[in-house]
C-alpha cells in the first residue's frame, strides 16, 4: 500500500521507544511509516472546546489534539496513562504484546531495612504508596517525580532506602540496577506494561492496518482491568490496582482498592472461562463497592480536590480547560500594561540596531508610529512569540534568543556597530543593558510602556503559583507570602522566583500552555 502512517509521539525517551517499537512492527509487515514528535499543546489549534470532545488525559492531551487536527494518523501511549474513556472520534486501534507488569524496588544499599521498623521509600504513585504502607505501616513514603533517569539520580543523592519503578519502563530503557527486586506482592496499575495505539474512528484504513499488530490476549486482559478502573470511577490518582491474565484457557483477575494511607484495603479475585469472562470487571467492581469501596473513593475525591493553583496571568477558556480535573485553578493578571507616548523624533532617522524583548513593546511601537514607515535595519528580539508578532506587524527579525541574557551575549559577538536602541518597560529586570554597556556598547533606552503591579491578595494555602515574567513575581510578592511551588515560563522568570521560593520549576517551552503542562505533570 502507498499510504505513509504518521505515528505521533511525545519526545521523552520512553515515549520514543514505544513509538519506534510500533514503527518496527508496522514496517516489518510492509507498511510505510513516519515518526512525528508532537509539539506542546500551545502550538496546536483546535476548533472545538476540549470539554466537548472529552479530552482529559494529562499525558495524552497533546497527541489527542494533534490527531483531531489531522496532523498524525495514530498515537502511541503507555496504556496505563490513557483515560478509560477516549475523546470523541478516537478509538483504540491496537495493543502490543504486554511487557513486564511488575513494580520494581530499587534500593540504595541493601534490603535489610525491609525487616526493620524504620525505612524511607520514594514513589510518585498513590497506588504504590498505599500498598507499601499497608505492608510496612511504620515506614515513611516520600514523593518522587521526573523521568526514570532523574528519579534514579534523586535516589542516589538522597537518604532514602529505596524507590519504586515500573519494571517495564526500566527494561525498555535498558536500565538494569544491580540493587533491585520485583515486588511480586504489589498489584500493578491497570494496563501497566502495555502499549496502546489509537486512531481516528472514521479512518478505517489505518485501523485495519493497526489491527495487524494487535495482541489479542493483552487486549482482553487490559480491557478488563480498565473496565474495572472505570466502574470504580478511579482516575490515575486513585490507589487502585488490577491485573488480569490468561492461563489454561481461564481468565484470572485480582483487584485492589486502598485508602491513601494504606490503613484500609479491599481486595477481590475472580476466575472465569475464556469466552465467559465479559462480566468479570462489573462483578469485581461491585464487590469492592459493596464492601466500603464507594466511601473510600468519595473520601479520596474530596481529598484530591484541594490542590490550589494561582496564575499571575488570566487564562482564556481554552487554556483553563487544559488543566487536570483534580486542580482548583484561579487566574488574575498581576500586572497591567500602559503604552507610553514615544516622541516622533525617535522614529525620524533610521535605527541600525533595535532590541525588543516583549510583545508589549511591539504593540507600543506600532501604536505610536505606522509600521510601514519604520526604519529599522536590524531587529533583535527575545522569545518566539515576540518574534512572530514583530514579523506580523513590523518586519523581518535579524536574530532571536530565548532570553535577554542569551541575546546580550549574541550581540557582543555579532552586532553591526557599537550602539543599540532598546524598546522596553519602565521596569527592567533583565541584564541585557548592563552586559552590553560593560563591553562599551551604547544602549539607548526607550520606555515604550509602563508596567503597573496589580496582583491580588490570595490564600496562604496555595500549592503552586504560575509566573510568566520577573514582573509578575515582583507583583505577587508585594501582596502575598511565597508558598508552594513556583512554576515559571523561562529561566529569567525563574531567576527572580528563586529569590523567594525554595521550589522553582521551569517549563520546557516558553509558552503559557507549556507552564500548564508543567503543573499537570506535577499534580497527576
Output the DSSP codes for 94-137: EEPPP----EEEEESS-SGGGGSS--EEE-S-HHHHHHHHHH-T
Q: Give pLDDT, residue 64.
A: 85
Of 461, 238, 424, 258, the closest CA to residue 342 belongs to: 424
Of 25, 27, 61, 20, the closest CA to residue 44 belongs to: 61
Residues forming a β-bridge with 37: 9
How far apart, in whole angstroms, are the C-alpha atoms of residue 141 and residue 129? 6
Higher pLDDT, 10 or 238: 10
Higher pLDDT, 255 or 452: 255
Residue 58's pLDDT band (boundaries 50, 70, 90)? low
Higher pLDDT, 511 or 256: 256
* 451-482 core/surface letters (b: 16 or more CB in 10 A; e: else): bebebeebeeebbbbbbbbbbbbbbbbeebeb
pLDDT at 53 over 50: no
Mean pLDDT for all residues in the chain: 89
- Is 46 exposed, middle or buried, given 0-12, 13-18 or 19+ CB atoms closer than 10 A? middle
CB 345: neighbour CB atoms within 10 A?
Answer: 7
Residue 516's pLDDT band (boundaries 50, 70, 90)? very high
Q: Which residue has the cell 551604547?
A: 442
Q: Give pLDDT, residue 299.
A: 78
Residue 111's pLDDT band (boundaries 50, 70, 90)? confident
| CATH superfamily of the 103-182 domain | Periplasmic binding protein-like II (3.40.190.10)
Q: Give pLDDT, residue 2.
A: 65
pLDDT at 300 over 80: no
Cell numbers that stand for 67 in this block: 490527531
Among 24-28, 103-107, 236-240, which is the least confidently predicted range? 236-240
How far apart, in whole angstroms, are the C-alpha atoms of residue 364 and residue 360? 6
pLDDT at 50 over 60: no
- Which of the four CATH numbers 3.90.1530.10, 3.30.70.260, 3.20.20.70, 3.40.50.10090 does domain 307-334+455-522 have? 3.40.50.10090
Specify whether the CB–CB gap between 262 and 129 falls below 8 A: yes
Question: What average pLDDT does this structure show over 155-177?
Answer: 93
Instruction: Look at the domain 215-304 and name its fold.
Output: Double Stranded RNA Binding Domain (3.30.160)
Q: pTM score, two decimals?
A: 0.66
Residue 49's pLDDT band (boundaries 50, 70, 90)? very low
Among 189-203, 259-273, 454-468, which is the least confidently predicted range? 454-468
Q: Give pLDDT, residue 483.
A: 85
Going from N- to C-terminal start, the domains of the chain cover 1-96+191-214, 103-182, 215-304, 307-334+455-522, 337-453
Specify whether the CB–CB gap between 489 and 469 falls below 8 A: yes
**Which distant-in-sequence residues (6+ apart) come within 8 Å of 275 by Cβ?**
none
Strands 442-453 vs 419-425: parallel, antiparallel or unpaired? parallel
How far apart, in whole angstroms, are the C-alpha atoms of residue 30 and residue 274? 33
- Which of the four CATH numbers 3.30.70.1150, 3.40.50.10190, 3.60.40.10, 3.40.50.10090 does domain 337-453 have? 3.40.50.10090
Sheet holding 103-107, edge to edge: 140-142, 120-122, 162-166, 103-107, 180-182
Q: Give pLDDT, residue 81.
A: 84
Q: Which residue has the cell 538522597?
A: 158
Among 140-149, 168-177, 206-215, 473-482, which is the least confidently predicted range? 140-149
State what percent of residues in the chain have pLDDT above 90.
62
pLDDT at 320 over 90: no
Please name the residue ranges forming H helices in 305-427. 317-321, 345-348, 359-368, 384-393, 404-414
Highest mean pLDDT: which of 137-151, 228-242, 399-413?
399-413
Q: Could you tell me how far CA 70 lies from the centroid of its own chain?
A: 22
Measured CA to CA in angstroms, residue 275 lies from 96, 98, 286, 356, 433 at distances of 21, 20, 21, 67, 73
Residue 305's pLDDT band (boundaries 50, 70, 90)? low
How far apart, in whole angstroms, are the C-alpha atoms of residue 138 and residue 116? 9
Given this chain, do its domains 103-182 and 337-453 carry the same CATH topology? no
Catalytic annotation on 261? Answer: no
What DSSP string runs through 408-445? HHHHHHH-SSSEEEEEEESS--SSHHHHHHHTT-EEEE
Cell numbers that stand for 374 in this block: 519604520
Angle between helices 148-156 and 13-28 in degrees, nearest 10: 140
If residue 352 lies in a helix (H) or strand (E), which one and from where to where?
strand 351-356
State what percent of residues in the chain have pLDDT above 70.
93
**The domain at 1-96+191-214 falls in which architecture?**
3-Layer(aba) Sandwich (3.40)
Higher pLDDT, 524 or 521: 521
Residue 35's pLDDT band (boundaries 50, 70, 90)? very high
Residue 6's pLDDT band (boundaries 50, 70, 90)? very high
- Is 350 exposed, middle or buried, given 0-12, 13-18 or 19+ CB atoms closer than 10 A? exposed
How far apart, in whole angstroms, are the C-alpha atoms of residue 502 and residue 486? 8
Q: Which residue has the cell 541584564?
A: 431
Question: What average pLDDT does this structure show over 333-341?
Answer: 89
Residue 52's pLDDT band (boundaries 50, 70, 90)? very low
| pLDDT tens readout for residues 120-155 | 999 988 899 999 999 999 999 988 877 788 889 999
Catalytic pick among 43, 71, 81, 333: 81
Q: Which residue has the cell 544491580?
A: 178
Quick one: CA dihedral 415, 417, 418, 423, positive or negative? negative
Angle between helices 216-231 and 280-288 in degrees, nearest 10: 30
Of 64, 84, 86, 73, the closest CA to residue 36 belongs to: 73
| pLDDT tens readout for residues 36-46 | 988 655 445 44
| pLDDT tens readout for residues 85-110 | 888 899 999 999 999 999 999 998 88
pLDDT at 384 over 90: no
Question: What average pLDDT does this structure show over 341-369?
Answer: 91
Specify whether the CB–CB gap between 147 and 13 falls below 8 A: yes
Amino acid at each position: 500500500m502507498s499510504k505513509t502512517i504518521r505515528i505521533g509521539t511525545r519526545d521523552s525517551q520512553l515515549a520514543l521507544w514505544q513509538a519506534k517499537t510500533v514503527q518496527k512492527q508496522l514496517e516489518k509487515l510492509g507498511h510505510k511509516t513516519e515518526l512525528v514528535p508532537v509539539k506542546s499543546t500551545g502550538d496546536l489549534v483546535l476548533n472545538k472546546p476540549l470539554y466537548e470532545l472529552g479530552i482529559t488525559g494529562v499525558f495524552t492531551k497533546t497527541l489527542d489534539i494533534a490527531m483531531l487536527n489531522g496532523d498524525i494518523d495514530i498515537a502511541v501511549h503507555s496504556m496505563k496513562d490513557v483515560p478509560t474513556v477516549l475523546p470523541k472520534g478516537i478509538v483504540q486501534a491496537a495493543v502490543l504484546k504486554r511487557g513486564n507488569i511488575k513494580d520494581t524496588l530499587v534500593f540504595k544499599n541493601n534490603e535489610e531495612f525491609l525487616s526493620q521498623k524504620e525505612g524511607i521509600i520514594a514513589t510518585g504513585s498513590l497506588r504504590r504508596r498505599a500498598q507499601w504502607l499497608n505492608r510496612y505501616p511504620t515506614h515513611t513514603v516520600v514523593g518522587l517525580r521526573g523521568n526514570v533517569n532523574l528519579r534514579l539520580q534523586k535516589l542516589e543523592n538522597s537518604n532514602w532506602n529505596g524507590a519504586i519503578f515500573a519494571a517495564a519502563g526500566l527494561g525498555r530503557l535498558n536500565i538494569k540496577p544491580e540493587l533491585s527486586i520485583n515486588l511480586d506482592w504489589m498489584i500493578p496499575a491497570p494496563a501497566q506494561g502495555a502499549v496502546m495505539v489509537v486512531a481516528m474512528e472514521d479512518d478505517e484504513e489505518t485501523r485495519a492496518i493497526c489491527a495487524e499488530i494487535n495482541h489479542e490476549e493483552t487486549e482482553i486482559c487490559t480491557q478488563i482491568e480498565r473496565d474495572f478502573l472505570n466502574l470504580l470511577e478511579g482516575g490515575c490518582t486513585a490507589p487502585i490496582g488490577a491485573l488480569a491474565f490468561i492461563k489454561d484457557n481461564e481468565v484470572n483477575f485480582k483487584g485492589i482498592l486502598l485508602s491513601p494511607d494504606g490503613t484500609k484495603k479491599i481486595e477481590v479475585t475472580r476466575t472465569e472461562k475464556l469466552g465467559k469472562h465479559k462480566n468479570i470487571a462489573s462483578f469485581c467492581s461491585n464487590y469492592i463497592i459493596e464492601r466500603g469501596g464507594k466511601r473510600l473513593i468519595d473520601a479520596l475525591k474530596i481529598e484530591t480536590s484541594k490542590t490550589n493553583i494561582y496564575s499571575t496571568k488570566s487564562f482564556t477558556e481554552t487554556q483553563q480547560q487544559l488543566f487536570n480535573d483534580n486542580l482548583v485553578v484561579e487566574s488574575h493578571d498581576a500586572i497591567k500594561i500602559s503604552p507610553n507616548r514615544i516622541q516622533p523624533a525617535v522614529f525620524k532617522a533610521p535605527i541600525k540596531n533595535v532590541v525588543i524583548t516583549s510583545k508589549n513593546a511591539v504593540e507600543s511601537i506600532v501604536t505610536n508610529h505606522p509600521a510601514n514607515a519604520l526604519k529599522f535595519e536590524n531587529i533583535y528580539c527575545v522569545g518566539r512569540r515576540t518574534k512572530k508578532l514583530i514579523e506580523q506587524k513590523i518586519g523581518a527579525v535579524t536574530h532571536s534568543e530565548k532570553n535577554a541574557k542569551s541575546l546580550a551575549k549574541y550581540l557582543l559577538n555579532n552586532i553591526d556597530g557599537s550602539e543599540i536602541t532598546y524598546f522596553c518597560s519602565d521596569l527592567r529586570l533583565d541584564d541585557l543593558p548592563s552586559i552590553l554597556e560593560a563591553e562599551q556598547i551604547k544602549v539607548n533606552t526607550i520606555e515604550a510602556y509602563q508596567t503597573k503591579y496589580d496582583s491580588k491578595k490570595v490564600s496562604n494555602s496555595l500549592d503552586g503559583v504560575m509566573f510568566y515574567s520577573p514582573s509578575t513575581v515582583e507583583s505577587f510578592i508585594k501582596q502575598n507570602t511565597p508558598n508552594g511551588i513556583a512554576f515559571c515560563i523561562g529561566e529569567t522568570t525563574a531567576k527572580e522566583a528563586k529569590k523567594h521560593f525554595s521550589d522553582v520549576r521551569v517549563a520546557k517551552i516558553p509558552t503559557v500552555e507549556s507552564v500548564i503542562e508543567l503543573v499537570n505533570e506535577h499534580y497527576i
